Structure 1
Amino acid sequence: MDLDVFVTAHRAEWDRLNHLLHRGRHLTGAEADELVALYQRTATHLSQIQSTTPDPLVTARLTQLVARARATVTGTRRASWRDAVRFLTAGFPAAVYRSRHWWVPTALISTALAALIGWWIATHPEIQSSIAAPSELRAMTRPGGEYETYYSSHPAASFAAQVWTNNAQAATMCLVLGAFVCLPVFWILFLNMLNLGVGIGLMSSAGRLDTFLGLVLPHGLLELTAVFVAAGTGLRLGWTVIDPGPLSRRTALAQQGRAALGMAIGLALVLFVSGVLEGFVTPSGLPTWGRITIGIAAELAFLTYVYVLGGRAARAGDTGDVEEADRSAELPIAA
């Protein structure tokens, strides 16, 4: 192919396409049809030049022209407040609801494990002595000790921000590391339950379990629920690696991964609320029953949000994935 002859023959079409692209949204119906036709022809011209005489200057010009034309023809969708509202009222709660068969058992088993560790420590003095010296244990568990002053040791705002950051990192690690065949998620869960069990055991042995629960429950119910949701979702993602179901492993992981990414954002908001409770409610001067009531109310509000809004959205077909128009094309899978 003679490149000079080819360019001379089609330069007018390329210039016309460039002119239409500069017109933007002011095209008539006929001009829009013309733009589509010129885009298709120019894409063919680019392919012909690349396969026969790939001149750098001509290829660069046509590549830019085709890219601009493709963006104009196919359009680009920008995120809007509508997307945020849809995510909060349907996408996120639906994803949490649909993964309930993973995170609810995770929550029950993990809570039982923490209780078992607490009972074991409380009933075995030799285990307590291996954790710390008797004087250090008394300093931790006595009235006004380390367990109580921990929540008021820093200004409420900075403490809430620190707690939120730490919990959000733990939740994100559960979501991301779940793809590694679930094993890191089990380890993260075990460490969290171990810390909780140690607190239960030591404060119970000192006869102050009620004080400990009064400090933990106001924020801990919502905080642990968010961690359990993240862990359950991470386990589900890991299981998808093992058993992708009727979809290809790549497609199944893409679907679950996109939903998990959205859940990471949603759970960060949940943990922000938990951090506010831990920074402002837990160390407050409210009576214990008042602080626990606030914690229970926050937990019930989240569960209602998941089971009512999320259940309704899930039954309507929402999976927590991005909208179909934003997904890449998928090949059909034979049954």
Structure 2
Amino acid sequence: MNIQRWIARREAQWQELDSLLQRAQQRGVKAFNAKEIVTLASLYRSVAADLARANTNQIGETIVQELQALTTRGYSLIYRGSRRQELRDAINFYLWKLPQVLRETWGYTAVAFGVFLVGVLIAWWFAWQDASFMSLVVPQAMIEKVRDRHQLWMGSILGTEPFAASSIAINNLSVCFRMVGGGILAGIWTIFALFYNGLLIGAVATLVGQNGLAYPFWAFVFPHGSLELPAIFISGGAGLLIAQGLLFPGRYRRRDALRICGLQAAQLVMGIFPMLLIAGTIEGFFSPQEVIPSPVKYLAGTGLFILLILYILRKESDIG
């Protein structure tokens, strides 16, 4: 390889990229027309390849350093703008697009809530009619603690708040992701998971009610449950949405219906992710704290739920 000839042949492109980068730093990339943007990207890739060749062939350190500086400037300019755009897109999604998707798919969320509620009511009915039913759903250790010692189990979180918060969030995310993924099984697993969780909540609620512990129990549940339970219903709705695309594609081909419904389900998953992280943090650090009065916990949970409803009803046309 004739180094001097190679440098002479490539140097014009290095200078052209340097000139474009200087203009971009002074005026911004927005001042470029479409052709100049394409040229900038092409020159960056070309100079990056030159840097790799210069390193491989051990061309003079001065040339390597110059090319390294040039590609670093190009990378910073090109990909910084891309990251900024991605950040803007993410902010716009959570500010405007997600509430719109939640409104558009509220029917599926309502059906998911209905399945959950059926489980709650069945558990409540059978738990009052047959004392042995409770042991079929609720762990025996929990039953004995509530029934025999008249104690709740939330105190075990105290002292392990960071670990508990992360474990709770991971477990809730796992439950919700399985509900969403259950849609590909014609929604059967999604419906089962919603129904079973309803049975569990209904049985536990009946257990604490029968033993005079309903008020402190719901004081614990309200703060994080105001986000956690809606997230469960939304994830159930996402699973049912996928099942609908699979079973009832309508005027679309099944493949296209699944793609459309899957996109909306994925957007719902992006919504439940921060909800469950916040709920897990609240459940780990706030809900079990005995020093916080129960009325404050009820107020916090109610306030969070109201904020969630206001967020879902949020429309871009409401601003300005």
TM-score of the aligned structures, taking structure 1 as reference length:
0.66
Contact 1:151 1:282 in 2 (8 A): no
1:111-133 deviation digits (Å, cap 9, x = unpaired): 34213312321342232466689
Deviation at 1:23, TM superposition (A): 6.0
Is 1:201 the counterpart of 2:206? The answer is yes
Contact 1:119 1:201 in 2 (8 A): no
Is 1:293 the counterpart of 2:299? The answer is yes
Deviation at 1:228, TM superposition (A): 0.2
Contact 2:115 2:191 in 1 (8 A): no
Aligned residue type for 2:215: D
Is 1:118 the counterpart of 2:124? The answer is yes
Aligned residue type for 1:207: G
What pairs with 1:77-116 in structure 2 (closer than 5 Å)?
78-79=82-83, 80-116=86-122
- Match of residue 170 from structure 1: 175
Aligned partners of 1:125 and 1:248: how far apart in 2? 51
Q: Which moved more, 1:128-137 or 1:270-279?
A: 128-137
Aligned residue type for 1:279: G
What pairs with 1:10-25 in structure 2 (closer than 5 Å)?
none
From 266, 271, 279, the counterpart of 1:274: 279
- Match of residue 240 from structure 1: 245
Aligned partners of 2:90 and 2:171: how far apart in 1? 25
1:125-148 deviation digits (Å, cap 9, x = unpaired): 232466689887332345673534
Aligned residue type for 2:261: Q
Contact 1:94 1:311 in 2 (8 A): no
Contact 1:97 1:311 in 2 (8 A): no
Aligned partners of 1:186 and 1:162: how far apart in 2? 25
Deviation at 1:250, TM superposition (A): 1.8
Deviation at 1:97, TM superposition (A): 1.3
Deviation at 1:182, TM superposition (A): 0.7
Deviation at 1:266, TM superposition (A): 2.0
Aligned residue type for 1:303: I
Aligned partners of 2:142 and 2:276: how far apart in 1? 31
Extract unaligned runs of 5+ from structure 1: 1-15, 36-74, 314-335
- The Cα RMSD (Å) is 3.7
SS at match of 1:178: helix
Q: Which moved more, 1:288-297 or 1:201-210?
A: 201-210
1:191-229 deviation digits (Å, cap 9, x = unpaired): 211221221122122232223222222211310100101
1:85-115 deviation digits (Å, cap 9, x = unpaired): 1111122222111110110232144134213
Is 1:160 the counterpart of 2:130? The answer is no
- Match of residue 302 from structure 1: 308
Aligned partners of 1:259 and 1:116: how far apart in 2? 31
Contact 2:205 2:214 in 1 (8 A): yes
Is 1:259 the counterpart of 2:256? The answer is no
Aligned partners of 2:187 and 2:232: how far apart in 1? 15
Aligned partners of 1:257 and 1:299: how far apart in 2? 27
Aligned residue type for 2:280: G
* Aligned residue pair count: 259
Higher RCO by CA contacts (8 Å cutoff, separation 6 or greater): 1
Contact 2:190 2:240 in 1 (8 A): yes
Aligned residue type for 2:300: I
Closer, same or farther: CA 134–266 of 1 in aligned 2, 3 Å: closer
Closer, same or farther: CA 202–144 of 1 in aligned 2, 3 Å: closer
Q: Indicate the percent of aligned positions where both proteins have the same amino acid.
A: 20
Contact 1:181 1:241 in 2 (8 A): yes
- Match of residue 47 from structure 1: none
Contact 1:120 1:201 in 2 (8 A): no
TM-score of the aligned structures, taking structure 2 as reference length:
0.68
Closer, same or farther: CA 310–140 of 1 in aligned 2, 3 Å: farther
- Match of residue 155 from structure 2: 149
Q: Which moved more, 1:182-191 or 1:208-217?
A: 208-217
Extract unaligned runs of 5+ from structure 2: 1-8, 22-31, 40-77
1:151-184 deviation digits (Å, cap 9, x = unpaired): 43x5222211111111111112222221221111
Q: Higher helix fraction: Structure 1 or Structure 2?
A: 2
